[in-house]
Structure 1
Amino acid sequence: MTRRVIVALGLLFLFSGAMTGGISNPAGPADIKVIKERVLKSLMVPYDNSSEVERLIATISDDGMWPDIDYEDVSNEGFQHTRHLENMVLLARAYRVKPSHFYKSRKLKNTIELALRHWVDNDYICGNWWNNEIGTPTQLVNLMLITGDDLSKDLVEKAQPIIGRAHIDAPGARPGGDRIKIAGIQAKNMLFTGDGDTFEKVIEVIENEIKYVEWIGREYGYTYRLHEGGFSNRSAGGRGIQYGNSFHHRTDGVNNTLSYGLSYADSFIEWAVYTADTGYAFSEDKIARLVDYYLDGICKMAAFGKYPDPGAKNREVSRRGSLRPLSARNTEDLLKTTRYRAEELQEIANIRAHEGIKPTLSHATFFWNTEHFAYQRPEWYASVRMYSTRTYNMEVGYNSEGLLNHHRGDGTNHISRTGKEYDDIFPVFDYQKVPGTTIMQKESLPPPGEIQKLGLTDFVGAVTDGTYGAVAFDFKSPHDPLVARKSWFFFDDEYVCLGAGISCRQPLPVATTLNQCLLKGDVTLSSGNRQSVIAKGEKEYENVDWIFHDGIGYVFPGISKVSLKNNSAIGSWWDINKQTSTPKSQVSMEVFKLWLDHGRRPSDATYAYIVVPATSLEEMRQNNSSRNIDVLVNTPYIQAVRHTGNNICQAVFYKGGEINIGDNLTLSSDNPGIVMVKMKNGAITHISVSDPNRELTRFNLFVSARIEGSGNNWQAIWNAADGGSHISIELPQGNCAGESMTVSF
């Protein structure tokens, strides 16, 4: 039976200029031929390194092995066999792609067959399932498509069962990040074998994976513990695109948007391009859903839409190059398939393809099912990573990677002005001084098996109107006897960081880290309005007004004592990644590290500082940020800030309470939550609210001003006797619980 005609009456968008054209015809053999030609074109990449090809031909043994590969170690950490597979694909390109000195070379073909025979005779199985169902089949199916028609038929037949481990019912093809990738491998193999019926089914699987899934961790009682999360589970189980456009690969609620979620999008885009203008073309509504996830999830978790947010990365930081800029290619490919949100896609493509282009769109985005906040301005980007009873703190250190990541979710606050502040810093990183976090300073971190922990508090979230936002974290460390209430308040040119109730039961020091990044140039310190460039070293400074480094300022509104390091740090990739290919030699880098020491066993300690990204020394000397900011309250019960320049007040109520937000105007909340109030000419124009606990149906406020009226989701009643207005705002429910609601007056 041929694939359906994709004409979703009344639902299908007709996008002019798109490759798909909005309508697909019934699929047939001609479509298969077109798609196969497109796949082949993508694989037929010229390889002009003749010396490497000659080396591989010269060094292969009579039994098809290369001397620089360990064929004995098939462990998760080892499996150098991937290089054997890569060598075969490299040689296949040299054999088939013009112009090549080795084009159709019999000697080269013999080398390929010798290497392939070794593989099919030994059928190496890795301890890591991913290699068996994704890595190995990917390389072998590429080999077949490039040069399989020229290879011995018995070798091709023997390779099929190995390639066939990648199929839509395979153990690893769980809903989420790996299912699309495995389906894509199978689809390519069906193109090679000519199985059109199976190809059709696999393409439908790929298309139907683009959907939102319900996060199973949002209900009280950790209900996701009742969901089987292993290979045998065929239900979504919270895995996939979340409401709010983050991505979960597993049932732990850990943010995987820039790892599995990125390859998930890449695989869909790849097949959207391959199948465009054929009877197998994806429907416009599925492509539009993918574009929304791509722009509002992936791109918003990248500084300027280009540089991956370190706070959104997990064990990948222990791999060199994990923060390299995202490619423009997948964005450009999306533009070949649709005109939906084309201007935004084109801007991202331009930013990634060229240096120096900054985004025009500013945003404040909270991914409520993932407890991650991202904030973009044209000249800077920042984020906050948290966790709650609804999510785990960090990915497990799978395959002996990311071995020191215990605290990288504890309110982590990365700051990017160039996008390159943290490039490959992680072998020399101090993992007990993660930017933004408050951590008990231990002699050493717990074993890697204790990295992943369930969050201990419900009150974790953010309020945002899409442009500005405030973040709150009722932090209880799952590793240490430490608590703190932490909040961040974001504006156009600066943001404010508050901490209160910092208490620890162990007689050990506790530190809050402002930043730890690569050292770039001088560090200037101001004390008593006198500035000086400080010498390299590590030292504690008293009575600090502000510190400036690499275009970022750190302002201390009160009398502050700070600790600072601006010299070399030494470490090793091997300390954080035990893969056999990981170098064990020492690495030295120049590092900037700034933190506040709360002393040993603090009780109800506090902090307050302002971060001024994308600034200059002259602007720091003018100290405008400090003059624009009023820290209204900083207690364990309420934390609130007013920005006089923006006329915005943001407040975190850990319990119901009242504050004065200026000009004889009071704001009261009957319930815990986060509130943002915008004003103009002394009058309230907008109120945004959110419920970090995800329990309320309505948010109840009182303001000492006259506001009357109602809307679809709010009501305001003036009460002369009380001297103010009672405002009730309906909150998002279900899959959107934790999202903000904004009303305008």
Structure 2
Amino acid sequence: MRNYLKLLTAIVLTALATNSIGASTDFEIIKKRVVEALIQPGVNDAEIQPLINNLQEDGTWPGIDYEDVSNEGFQHSRHYSNMVNLAWAYRKESSAFYKSPEVLKALEAALKNWVDNDYICENWWFNQIGTPDNLVDVLLLAGNDLPEELVEKTQPIIGRANIDAPGARPGGDRIKIAGIQAKNMLFLGDRETFEKVVRVIENEIKYVEWVGKKYGYTYRRHSGGFGNRSAGGRGIQYGNSFHHRTDGVNNTLSYGIGYANAFVEWAVYTAGTRFAFAEEKLSRLVDYYLDGICKTAVFGKYPDPGAKNRSVSRRGTLRPYSAKTAENLLLTTNYRKKELQEIADIRNNGIAPTLSHATFFWNSEHFSFQRPGWFASVRMYSTRNHNMEVPYNSEGLLNHHRGDGANHISRTGDEYYDIFPVFDYQKVSGTTIMQKPELPDPSQIQKIGLTDFVGAVTDGIYGAVAFDFKSPHDPLIARKSWFFFDKMFVCLGAGISCKNDNSPVVTTLNQCLLKGDVTVSSGNNSSVIQHGEKKLKSVDWIFHDGIGYVFPNPATVQLKNSAETGSWWKISKQSSTPKDEISLDIFKLWVPHGKRPSDETYEYIVVPAATVEKMKQNSSQNNIRILSNTPEVQVVMNTKLGICQAVFYQAGEIQVSENLKLISDNPGIIMLKMKDEKVTEISVADPNRELSRFHLSISEKMEKYGDNFSAVWNEKDGLTHVSVKLPQDNYAGDSFTIEL
């Protein structure tokens, strides 16, 4: 990768130094860059001779099922991967098989087999992306030496990747398909069509109007609703998350990464030529990469497991990201250069991030919180989007509850690595779930949310999250909230009720890989717990793997720190999925609410980046005051920071301190920042997305006006009435902060 980047850098700088470059020269420069990028990966010569020797007379390889073209099968991808490897070896000068007639003969036979049979998969992706992409790579590498008639017969297959194809709808796949077509135009020498396709790619770097804006809480009154394929909404969302489909599911760390990488790839290929992207488009691409992808990642490096969908059923899905995208962006623009360099250094050199953030992706109902020593996220859904991706191609078969307020916590980035074959999918970190004998059929995974009040308030550094949770799977409701500060966050649940008599309900604090001892404190006496499953009473706090779980009121909890068994096959029925049973040591901690709970509650504080010694000092409880935890209002005060965060599910009031009362005239979330007991800053958000102005009052005298707010003292009431103009249209659900 390093050599590849150096090569591209040299080519880009050479092009930039040229004062006048003709269209023909530009075209050839870009083609050269594409080919050099294709041959850059190393070829293992030891793998090439067996491909030649094992190739059968009909141009097939043994061990590949050429009959199975199902979504779960289609081993034909191995066939075209073999062809690409042969083409690599043929074109790579350092390979012992460079320009080898034997390799070319094998490649010709394998390609003829594909052209003659034109293998079509039930999954459209292979037909319009996977197959054309690999075949055009073969032609770019070796097409000039293949028979002209064979090349011509390959073109209709590659041509299925075009900007007018059914799969080229706006979103991640459109850019991939356009990129394949652009590469094919380079091979064919079609400059006119190439320029047209490059401009399509460039112009797709844009924000799109989220489908939930139209099909939000009123979706039942619209024909088609989220199933309307013409509804749009695919692509980069306002707020910098990514939707691949019209279901409103967060796809930032799946299709959204491929989307960004496709843009970056062509930004590098075209840099310094007349085909180069406009600076405005590059800036927007950088914004999406830094504020969307990187802020959804742990330390900007590891995937947030809470943002993953069906890909959790693939091995290695949580492996750290490379620095390639950041480094490539640095080749194309100086915009936000320092931040891009920091991401590259984090990923290459393992430096700790310096920036802290609290980010709410309001169009995806996803919240992420980063501090230099830890990361946490909350995943939710509302009437404006769906809970989870459909288990396409028989992947992610147990994901029913992974959007139910999932709250993942990371200090290192590998707490959940490949845990999913042995995962208890009814004890997802942060969720409140009715424990069923078994999960419903996979066809029942994706559900539309049932409540409107879902959202967060944030000033970019701190934030509070609220989820009026009503399970679409079970007769269960709960009011759940999270309050985030520098060294801890507070988790509250109220109104937990379930109408099922037979199945207990639990709230899971965490389920992750077991690493080291588990220490439990009860009655100020702490001890290391032996492996196994046990019920613990009057617990003050629990510590595991650098994370403390504190109970402001001694609680009854259940803990399991022992091996769990499972298999990848349990969660994915792909033909390549291993079926072996595996075992992993797991840490699992949950609060039992019993069967048919009514108005149950929970309260706990998570203290990441802690030690047993720090837990014994009890500093978290000293700084945290839980002012209310009811179905009507949930409020937390951090006395050390002078921050009060309040969730009002309906209009109400709360006594923040002896001298300060907070009143909200409407449902919403409020964050107050104070200095010397004086309010200095107010942040508000409307999770219902209905208000044009947010009205609140505080028992502190002040007078101030701004373009979007007013604060007026009323002597008679003894209150300052504050009116804040809320973000509207595509920004409805975002927060607004005023300084006083």
AA matched with 2:188: T
Match of 2:219 in 1: 222
2:664 corresponds to which of 658, 663, 669: 669
User: Tell me, what secondary structure is at the counterpart of 1:543?
Assistant: strand
1: distance between equivalents of 2:383 and 2:450?
Answer: 5
Tell whether the 8 Å contact from 2:712 to 2:720 is kept in structure 1 after alignment. yes
2:550 corresponds to which of 555, 561, 567: 555
2: distance between equivalents of 1:196 and 1:588?
Answer: 56
Tell me if 1:80 matches 2:80.
no
AA matched with 1:650: Q
Cα offset, 1:47, TM superposition: 3.6
Cα offset, 1:59, TM superposition: 0.8
Match of 1:12 in 2: none
Tell whether the 8 Å contact from 1:301 to 1:312 is kept in structure 2 after alignment. yes
Tell whether the 8 Å contact from 1:175 to 1:236 is kept in structure 2 after alignment. no
Tell whether the 8 Å contact from 1:24 to 1:279 is kept in structure 2 after alignment. no
Segments of 5+ residues of structure 2 without an aligned counterpart are 1-11
Match of 1:34 in 2: 29
AA matched with 1:114: A
User: Tell me, what secondary structure is at the counterpart of 2:527?
Assistant: strand
Tell whether the 8 Å contact from 1:46 to 1:94 is kept in structure 2 after alignment. no
1: distance between equivalents of 2:388 and 2:124?
Answer: 21
Tell whether the 8 Å contact from 2:211 to 2:226 is kept in structure 1 after alignment. no
Question: Structure 1 residues 259, 23: CA separation in 2 closer, same or farther (over 3 Å shift)?
Answer: farther
1: distance between equivalents of 2:285 and 2:714?
Answer: 48
AA matched with 2:479: R
AA matched with 2:408: H
AA matched with 1:456: L
2: distance between equivalents of 1:46 and 1:734?
Answer: 46
Tell me if 1:713 matches 2:677.
no
Cα offset, 1:741, TM superposition: 0.5
Match of 1:472 in 2: 466
AA matched with 1:576: I
AA matched with 1:486: K
2: distance between equivalents of 1:228 and 1:715?
Answer: 38
2:438 corresponds to which of 444, 454, 460: 444
Question: Structure 1 residues 445, 148: CA separation in 2 closer, same or farther (over 3 Å shift)?
Answer: same
1:636 corresponds to which of 624, 631, 642: 631
CA offsets per residue over residues 102-157 of structure 1, 9 Å max, x none? Answer: 11111111111111111111110001000000000010000000111111112111
Question: Structure 1 residues 224, 574: CA separation in 2 closer, same or farther (over 3 Å shift)?
Answer: farther
2:723 corresponds to which of 719, 728, 732: 728
Tell whether the 8 Å contact from 2:211 to 2:231 is kept in structure 1 after alignment. no
Tell whether the 8 Å contact from 1:22 to 1:284 is kept in structure 2 after alignment. no
AA matched with 2:219: Y
1:307 corresponds to which of 302, 305, 311: 302
Tell whether the 8 Å contact from 1:229 to 1:237 is kept in structure 2 after alignment. no
AA matched with 2:506: A
Tell whether the 8 Å contact from 1:25 to 1:278 is kept in structure 2 after alignment. no
CA offsets per residue over residues 706-744 of structure 1, 9 Å max, x none? Answer: 011111111111111111211111111111000001001
2: distance between equivalents of 1:292 and 1:578?
Answer: 37
1: distance between equivalents of 2:644 and 2:18?
Answer: 50
1: distance between equivalents of 2:653 and 2:726?
Answer: 21
Match of 1:376 in 2: 370
1: distance between equivalents of 2:82 and 2:231?
Answer: 36
Tell me if 1:158 matches 2:148.
no
Match of 2:426 in 1: 432
Tell me if 1:544 matches 2:539.
yes
1: distance between equivalents of 2:259 and 2:500?
Answer: 44
CA offsets per residue over residues 569-612 of structure 1, 9 Å max, x none? Answer: 00110010000000111011110000000000100000000000
AA matched with 1:200: E
1: distance between equivalents of 2:386 and 2:644?
Answer: 31
1: distance between equivalents of 2:465 and 2:66?
Answer: 50
1:203 corresponds to which of 185, 194, 198: 198
Tell whether the 8 Å contact from 1:685 to 1:744 is kept in structure 2 after alignment. yes
Cα offset, 1:52, TM superposition: 1.2
More divergent stretch after superposition (39-48 vs 318-327): 39-48
Q: Larger helix proportion, structure 1 or 2? A: 2
1:349 corresponds to which of 318, 325, 344: 344
TM-score if structure 2 supplies the norm length?
Answer: 0.96
Match of 2:117 in 1: 122
Equivalent runs, 1:59-78 vs 2, <5 Å:
59-78=54-73
Cα offset, 1:218, TM superposition: 2.5
Tell whether the 8 Å contact from 1:496 to 1:609 is kept in structure 2 after alignment. yes
Match of 2:405 in 1: 411
1: distance between equivalents of 2:59 and 2:644?
Answer: 70
Match of 1:359 in 2: 353
AA matched with 1:662: S
Cα offset, 1:663, TM superposition: 3.2
1: distance between equivalents of 2:14 and 2:52?
Answer: 42
AA matched with 1:441: Q
CA offsets per residue over residues 507-557 of structure 1, 9 Å max, x none? Answer: 120000000000011111111111111000011100111011100000000
AA matched with 1:467: I
Tell whether the 8 Å contact from 2:219 to 2:225 is kept in structure 1 after alignment. no
Cα offset, 1:101, TM superposition: 1.2
Question: Structure 1 residues 678, 21: CA separation in 2 closer, same or farther (over 3 Å shift)?
Answer: farther
Tell whether the 8 Å contact from 2:43 to 2:88 is kept in structure 1 after alignment. no
Match of 1:243 in 2: 238
Cα offset, 1:56, TM superposition: 0.9
Cα offset, 1:682, TM superposition: 1.1
AA matched with 1:199: F
AA matched with 1:401: E
1: distance between equivalents of 2:100 and 2:132?
Answer: 25
Equivalent runs, 1:117-196 vs 2, <5 Å:
117-196=112-191
Question: Structure 1 residues 23, 297: CA separation in 2 closer, same or farther (over 3 Å shift)?
Answer: farther
Match of 1:488 in 2: 482
Match of 2:207 in 1: 212
2: distance between equivalents of 1:288 and 1:606?
Answer: 46
Tell whether the 8 Å contact from 2:540 to 2:551 is kept in structure 1 after alignment. yes
Match of 1:456 in 2: 450
2:283 corresponds to which of 288, 294, 310: 288
Equivalent runs, 1:583-662 vs 2, <5 Å:
583-662=578-657
Match of 2:5 in 1: none
1: distance between equivalents of 2:17 and 2:648?
Answer: 49
CA offsets per residue over residues 625-668 of structure 1, 9 Å max, x none? Answer: 11110000000000000001101000000001110111321100
Cα offset, 1:18, TM superposition: 8.6
Equivalent runs, 1:95-114 vs 2, <5 Å:
95-114=90-109
2: distance between equivalents of 1:20 and 1:562?
Answer: 64
2: distance between equivalents of 1:521 and 1:715?
Answer: 54
1: distance between equivalents of 2:523 and 2:734?
Answer: 43
Tell whether the 8 Å contact from 1:527 to 1:546 is kept in structure 2 after alignment. yes
Tell me if 1:393 matches 2:387.
yes
Cα offset, 1:216, TM superposition: 2.2
Tell whether the 8 Å contact from 1:476 to 1:482 is kept in structure 2 after alignment. yes
Tell whether the 8 Å contact from 1:229 to 1:250 is kept in structure 2 after alignment. no
AA matched with 1:367: F
Question: Structure 1 residues 24, 697: CA separation in 2 closer, same or farther (over 3 Å shift)?
Answer: farther
Q: How many residues align?
A: 726
Match of 2:3 in 1: none
AA matched with 1:445: L
Tell whether the 8 Å contact from 1:18 to 1:337 is kept in structure 2 after alignment. no
Cα offset, 1:27, TM superposition: 6.1
User: Tell me, what secondary structure is at the counterpart of 1:558?
Assistant: strand
User: Tell me, what secondary structure is at the counterpart of 1:407?
Assistant: coil
2: distance between equivalents of 1:19 and 1:351?
Answer: 29
Structure 1 stretches of at least 4 aligned residues deviating more than 3 Å after TM superposition: 17-27, 223-230
Match of 1:499 in 2: 493
Cα offset, 1:224, TM superposition: 10
Tell whether the 8 Å contact from 2:249 to 2:364 is kept in structure 1 after alignment. yes
Question: Structure 1 residues 496, 142: CA separation in 2 closer, same or farther (over 3 Å shift)?
Answer: same
1: distance between equivalents of 2:694 and 2:225?
Answer: 35
User: Tell me, what secondary structure is at the counterpart of 1:500?
Assistant: strand
Question: Structure 1 residues 21, 688: CA separation in 2 closer, same or farther (over 3 Å shift)?
Answer: farther
Identity %: 67
CA offsets per residue over residues 663-685 of structure 1, 9 Å max, x none? Answer: 32110000000000000011000
